[in-house]
């Protein structure tokens, strides 16, 4: 085992463990909010779906990357290459779609009552669960190509005319079929990126106009506070910005993996690290800015301190 493989294994393992802890903490907070009587907002259900997608990427991508870097190559058998690649791709696609749904829903929620989206304000919450379910089905169907064409490089079969991805390889088709497969897999992501750009731009415009309208109120208020909608929108904008940053870099390296005949060690492993970045960072962004989580944590600590004082009396 080389030093560079050990280093990349440690980085992937650290990212994975950090992401698992962060997503578990976020899920734990939402479960406590639910079971202690705090009402969950529609966006909370979307965040929970994002947590599940993050877990899918971390578990089926981060741990196998780390294990193979430490010398445990058997995880990438034929079955491992097919199903790990499939589940990782489904999780990544759902993560993109969920972030898109989160930003689009918030853009509709904070839109003015006289806008064209006013009629969707009350209807949008009931479409959240069906939309998430349909997107899971869509990603499962689109990424079935991983189950069909992926195999392990460790098998003894003839691996000529195949494209290599680390310890896995895929059937190499003619340029037209490769382009069609790439377009099929990438088309939902492109649509989601465009929707996120629209939603983010709309939220920035609405927040800027709202700030100008209430600026005189803030000047006369002794303790000015932003509204819950404003705080939630800023959280989602931060989440989307982080998502676009990491996934733009990840997409560039994924394109290089698709275009190059024999991708280098640096390109493959950098792509692996970038794919784990957003699932590892996103729960901490939500935990740090979500008002429900902060409010419940404060209440829980206050109650715990009160009970502790009563026991000591």
DSSP H helices in the chain: 3-35, 42-57, 63-69, 78-109, 128-142, 145-149, 175-213, 215-220, 228-259, 265-289, 291-312
- Residue 37's CATH number: 1.20.1070.10
In angstroms and rounded to an integer, the radius of gyration of the C-alpha atoms of the chain is 22
* pLDDT beyond 60 at 218: no
Domain that holds residue 174: 3-214+228-300
Number of domains in the chain: 1
Cβ partners under 8 Å of residue 95, min gap 6: 50, 53, 54, 57, 278, 279
Q: Is the dihedral of CA 143, 144, 148, 152 positive or negative?
A: positive
Top-confidence residue, 75 or 161: 75
Residue 150 included in any domain: yes
Tens of pLDDT, residues 138-147: 999 988 888 8
Q: Over the chain, what is the mean pLDDT?
A: 77
Cβ partners under 8 Å of residue 57, min gap 6: 88, 91, 92, 95, 275, 276, 279
Closest CA to 249 of 267, 265, 262: 267
Residue 222 included in any domain: no
Average confidence (pLDDT) over 145-152: 83
Residue 194 included in any domain: yes
Residue 296 included in any domain: yes
Tens of pLDDT, residues 71-116: 787 777 888 888 988 998 899 889 989 988 888 888 888 777 776 7
Q: Is the dihedral of CA 183, 187, 188, 194 positive or negative?
A: positive
Residue 240 included in any domain: yes
Determine the pLDDT at residue 52: 93
* pLDDT beyond 80 at 310: no
Determine the pLDDT at residue 132: 92
Average confidence (pLDDT) over 20-29: 91
Determine the pLDDT at residue 106: 82
């Amino acid at each position: 085992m080389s030093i560079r493989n050990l280093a990349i294994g440690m980085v992937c393992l650290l990212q994975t463990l950090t992401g698992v802890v962060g997503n578990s903490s976020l899920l734990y907070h939402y479960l406590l909010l639910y079971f202690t009587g705090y009402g969950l907002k529609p966006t909370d259900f979307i965040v929970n779906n994002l947590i599940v997608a993050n877990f899918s990427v971390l578990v089926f991508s981060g741990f196998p990357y780390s294990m193979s870097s430490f010398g445990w190559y058997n995880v990438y058998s034929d079955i491992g290459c097919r199903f790990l690649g499939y589940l990782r791709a489904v999780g990544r696609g759902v993560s993109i779609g969920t972030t898109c749904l989160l930003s689009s829903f918030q853009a509709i929620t904070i839109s003015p009552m006289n806008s064209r989206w006013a009629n969707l304000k009350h209807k949008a919450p009931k479409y959240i669960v069906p939309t998430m379910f349909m997107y899971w089905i869509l990603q499962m169907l689109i990424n079935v190509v991983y189950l069909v064409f992926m195999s392990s490089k460790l098998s003894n079969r003839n691996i000529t005319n195949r494209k290599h991805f680390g310890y896995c390889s895929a059937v190499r088709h003619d340029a037209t079929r490769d382009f069609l497969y790439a377009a099929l897999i990438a088309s939902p992501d492109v649509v989601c990126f465009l929707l996120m750009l629209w939603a983010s731009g709309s939220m920035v415009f609405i927040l800027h106009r709202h700030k100008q309208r209430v600026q005189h109120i803030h000047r006369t208020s002794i303790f000015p506070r932003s509204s819950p909608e404003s705080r939630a929108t800023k959280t989602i904008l931060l989440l989307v910005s982080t998502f676009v940053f990491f996934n733009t870099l990840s997409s560039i390296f994924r394109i290089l993996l698709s275009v190059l005949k024999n991708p280098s060690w640096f390109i493959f492993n950098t792509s692996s690290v970038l794919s784990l970045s957003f699932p590892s960072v996103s729960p901490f962004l939500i935990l740090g800015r979500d008002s429900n989580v902060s409010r419940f944590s404060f209440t829980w600590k206050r109650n715990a301190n009160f009970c502790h004082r009563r026991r000591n009396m």
